[in-house]
């Protein structure tokens, strides 16, 4: 198994090296020349959203809370469909380089800086979640302890991302999503056909003692919001060959996510229905190691690892590009690679001390979604008709973010969620007010009107 792992790593590095020649400019490094075909954009969207952290985390949550864990992935799928209907074409037509760059076009320099800082902070946490997921898979394959596995995963992803940039990410995502898709579907079929649970033990309940209506609303708003207006997904949209291709990519990836939401959840429901004992491993890795036949277990391991790598490289590239382009307002390719390294090191450090992947991801999403998503949605929808007042738009993002982020530190889960909704409400009200007030002459000049 370790030999195959090494060969897999060598293959990815070869793809990165073949893409090195395309990284002759900062723009090519971030958006791959803005001329990528639909099939690459779709595969990359799916590979980046159905990451290893979500895959491992959702199976674990399915075992503990039942079918309700489905919404952690399905919320993102619905967000992609809504994104295709409302945003993708507009975003691609903006010719922005990053999400904060687009925010700057909508609300000026201060809004751009604020959005950029929030994204960098948030995406460091998401990188940690992917490194944590990678350490679980590497530990299953090699027997390495968690600390060593985190360090090795972070080091490999760092080297791979530094070499290849967006072009290699898009190329490898197509290959890696294929591995993940086949492995997930084949494993699901084998579990239910070769070792089916007893009749009536697989329960599909929308609500239960651990998941109520308020939790569902939280998933559909807060979790979905992080996919709806997402710097990683916007990076894909901005790399598409045309606005029409960007729109279709969002739609197809949304339907794809729905399919895999069911597949991932039902793997966890199999473990829950059969009373499978995972021991000290997380349920998915325990199923791979102790239940699936060797060839299928190996395929599933590499499929999950592929998902992790597909998300993690995008996270590193997004955070580094935003830091260089929007926080520091430069376009140095060399410095962007330095920021990739720094984000990787900080993310790896966090991963050494965290253990719950889904909890970590939810904490990082909450402030981002509460502040940025409502404000930028309002501004994007009005971008061809009216500009928002920059000061009020800035206030909308900051107030929403602070309320949502503060909720993470409350002990009561319902109060945590309530703070997220409070942030969303405040951000929405202030951004609508920003649109009503409109941009003054000086603000119009600032935003390029």
434 in any annotated domain: no
Tell me 50's DSSP state: S
Between these two residues, 375 and 387, which has the higher pLDDT value?
375
Cβ burial 98-125 (10 Å sphere, 16+ → b, else e): bbbbbbbbbbbebbbbbbbbbbbebbbb
Q: Is the pLDDT of residue 11 over 80?
A: no
d(CA 101, CA 231): 10
Burial 338-360 (b: 16+ CB within 10 A, else e): ebbbebbebbbebbeeeeebbeb
* Helix, coil or strand: residue 211: strand
CA 144 from centre of chain: 26
Asked if residue 191 belongs to a domain, the reply is yes
Highest mean pLDDT among 24-33, 147-156, 173-182 belongs to 147-156
What b/e string do you get for 400-434 counting C-beta neighbours within 10 Å, with b at 16 or more? bbbbbbbbeeeeeeeebbbbbbbbbebbbebbbbb
Any domain includes 439 = no
Residue 23 has pLDDT above 60, yes or no: no
pLDDT of residue 43: 82
- Which is more confidently placed, 276 or 57? 276
Q: What is the pLDDT of residue 33?
A: 66
Taking the model in full, what pTM does it have?
Answer: 0.83
Domain that holds residue 139: 2-358
Task: Determine contact, residues 45/250, Cβ cutoff 8 Å.
Answer: yes
State the CATH number of the domain containing residue 56: 1.20.1730.10
SS3 track for 109-146 = HHHHHHHHHHHHHHHHHHHHHHHHHHHHHHHHHHCCCH
Looking at residues 235-239, what average pLDDT do you find?
87
**Contacts (Cβ under 8 Å, ≥6 apart) of 15:** 164, 168, 171, 172, 175
Looking at residue 444, its pLDDT comes to 47
> What total of structural domains would you count in the chain?
1
Measured in degrees and rounded to the nearest 5, phi and psi for residue 329 equal: 55, 50
Residue 227 lies in a domain: yes
Average of per-residue pLDDT across 210-215: 88
When pLDDT is cut at 50, 70 and 90, the band that residue 262 belongs to is very high
pLDDT digits (tens, 9 = 90+) for 108-164: 999 999 999 999 988 888 888 888 878 878 887 788 888 898 899 888 888 877 776
Is 384 within the bounds of a domain? no
* Positive or negative: CA dihedral 17, 323, 150, 278: negative
* Better-predicted residue by pLDDT, 174 or 213: 213
Closest listed residue to residue 272, CA positions, set 191, 352, 212: 191
What pLDDT, on the 0 to 100 scale, is given for residue 404?
93
| Whether residue 8 has pLDDT greater than 80 | no
In a domain? residue 441:
no
171: CB partners within 8 A, 6+ apart: 15, 18, 19, 40, 164
Band the pLDDT of 28: cuts 50, 70, 90: low
SS3 content of the chain, % helix, strand, coil (to 5): 80, 0, 15
Torsion of CA 239, 243, 246, 247, to 10 degrees: 170
pLDDT (mean) for 225-238: 89
User: Pick from 186, 197, 188, 194: which is nearest to 295 by CA?
Assistant: 186
Q: What is the mean pLDDT of residues 296-316?
A: 81
Average pLDDT over the chain, rounded to whole?
85
Q: How far is CA 197 from CA 55, 194, 201, in A?
A: 21, 10, 7
Model confidence at 1, pLDDT cuts 50, 70, 90, reads: low
* Cα 209 off chain centre by: 28
Among 342, 407, 380, smallest CA distance to 99 is for 380
Averaged over 269-287, what is the pLDDT?
Answer: 91
pLDDT > 60? residue 45: yes
Is the pLDDT at 5 greater than 70, yes or no? yes
For residue 377, what pLDDT band results from cuts at 50, 70 and 90?
A: very high
C-alpha pair distances (Å), 114 with each of 235, 368, 369, 380, 434: 18, 11, 14, 17, 16
Mean pLDDT value of segment 381-386: 88
Whether 298 shows a pLDDT value over 80: the answer reads yes
Question: Predicted confidence band at 447 (pLDDT cuts at 50, 70, 90)?
Answer: very low
Q: Higher pLDDT residue, 311 or 165?
A: 311
| 3-state secondary structure (DSSP) of residue 388 | coil
Mean pLDDT along residues 86-106: 93
Assigned domain for 257 exists? yes
Q: For residue 383, is it within any domain?
A: no
φ, ψ for residue 240, nearest 5 deg = -70, 155
Q: What is the pLDDT of residues 351-363, one digit of tens each?
A: 887 666 556 666 7
């Amino acid at each position: 198994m370790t030999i195959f792992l090494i060969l897999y790593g060598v293959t990815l590095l070869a793809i990165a090296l073949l893409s090195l020649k395309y990284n002759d400019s900062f723009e090519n490094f971030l958006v791959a020349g803005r001329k990528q075909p639909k099939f690459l954009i779709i595969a990359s969207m799916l590979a980046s959203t159905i990451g290893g952290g979500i895959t491992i985390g959702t199976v674990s949550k399915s075992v503990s809370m039942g079918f309700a864990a489905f919404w952690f992935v399905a919320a993102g799928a619905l967000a992609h469909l809504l994104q295709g209907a409302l945003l993708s074409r507009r975003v691609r037509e903006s010719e922005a380089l990053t999400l904060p760059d687009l925010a700057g076009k909508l609300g000026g320099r201060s809004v751009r800086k604020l959005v950029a800082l929030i994204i960098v902070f948030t995406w460091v946490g998401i990188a940690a979640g992917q490194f944590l997921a990678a350490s679980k898979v590497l530990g299953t394959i090699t027997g390495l302890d968690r600390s060593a596995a985190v360090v090795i995963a972070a080091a490999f992803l760092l080297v791979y991302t530094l070499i290849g940039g967006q072009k290699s990410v898009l190329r490898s995502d197509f290959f890696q999503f294929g591995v993940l898709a086949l492995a997930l579907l084949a494993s699901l079929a084998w579990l239910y056909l070769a070792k089916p649970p007893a009749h009536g033990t697989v329960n599909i309940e929308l609500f239960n003692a651990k998941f109520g209506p308020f939790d569902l609303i939280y998933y559909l708003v807060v979790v979905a919001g992080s996919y709806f207006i997402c710097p990683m997904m916007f990076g894909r949209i901005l790399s598409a060959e045309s606005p029409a291709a960007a729109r279709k990519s969002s739609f197809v990836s949304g339907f794809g996510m729905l399919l895999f939401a069911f597949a991932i959840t039902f793997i966890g429901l199999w473990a829950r229905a059969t009373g499978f004992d995972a021991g000290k491993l997380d349920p998915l890795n325990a199923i791979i190691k102790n239940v699936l036949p060797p060839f299928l277990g190996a395929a599933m391991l590499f499929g999950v690892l592929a998902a992790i790598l597909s998300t993690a490289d995008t996270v590193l590239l997004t955070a580094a590009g935003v830091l260089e382009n929007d926080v520091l307002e430069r376009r140095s390719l060399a410095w962007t690679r330095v920021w990739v390294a720094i984000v990787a090191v900080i993310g790896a450090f966090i991963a050494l001390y965290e253990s719950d992947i889904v909890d970590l991801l939810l904490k990082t999403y909450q402030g981002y979604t509460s502040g940025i998503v409502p404000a930028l949605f309002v501004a994007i929808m009005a971008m061809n008709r009216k500009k928002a007042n920059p000061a009020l738009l800035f206030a909308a993002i900051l107030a929403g973010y602070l309320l949502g982020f503060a909720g993470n530190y409350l002990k009561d889960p319902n109060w945590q969620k309530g703070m997220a909704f409070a942030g969303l409400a405040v951000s929405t009200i202030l951004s609508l007010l920003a649109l009503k007030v409109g941009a003054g002459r000086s603000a119009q000049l600032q935003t390029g009107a």
